[in-house]
Structures are given as C-alpha cells and as structure tokens.
Amino acid sequence: MRRKANQNAQTQVCSQCLLIRYFIATAIAVVLLALIAGENTKFLGMFTPGRASVAIVLGGALMASVKIWLWRREMNENVAEAD
C-alpha cells in the first residue's frame, strides 16, 4: 500500500550530503581547470603547500572566533531575557 505524501512537506538536505556535494563539485572543477589550462599554469605557482596550510589555519581561526562571538552574544541575550 502506498501512503499519500504530504504536499506541503519540504525536504531538506543534510549537512553531510551538502558537504560531499561541494567536495565533488570542487574536485570536478580542479580537474576541468587542469584539462583546460594545460601548460599555462604559471599563475598556479603562487599556491604553495605552506600558503595553503596558513590559509586553512587562518580560516579555521576566523570561523572559530566568529562562532564564539555569536555564542557569547546569544548567551548575553538569554541572560537579558531572563532578567
């Protein structure tokens, strides 16, 4: 027996599925860039492993600091509402 699906129900994509989709799209973009650029990849010389690692660490620190700031702001709002 088939159940009637709710017409108003909205489907949401889980965050892990979305992350996997972004990873696959990025991997395909890198492959296409490599195929299209061919020998003209001199501009990619500025992307070194050291710079990539610094960018990852700085990006993580920035995201963590924003997350902590948002958390503290939410905690202050909750305290203000309780008073």
Give the containing element (helix H, strand E) for 25.
helix 15-37
Give the pLDDT score at 12: 79
Q: Walk along the chain (83 residues) and give the pLDDT tens digit of each residue.
A: 455 555 666 777 788 999 999 999 999 998 898 888 777 777 777 888 899 999 999 999 999 999 999 999 999 988 888 76
Q: Which pLDDT score, from 0 to 100, does residue 69 have?
A: 97
**Residues whose CB falls within 8 Å of the CB of residue 41, separated by 6 or more in sequence, listed in order:** 34
Q: What is the pLDDT of residue 5?
A: 55
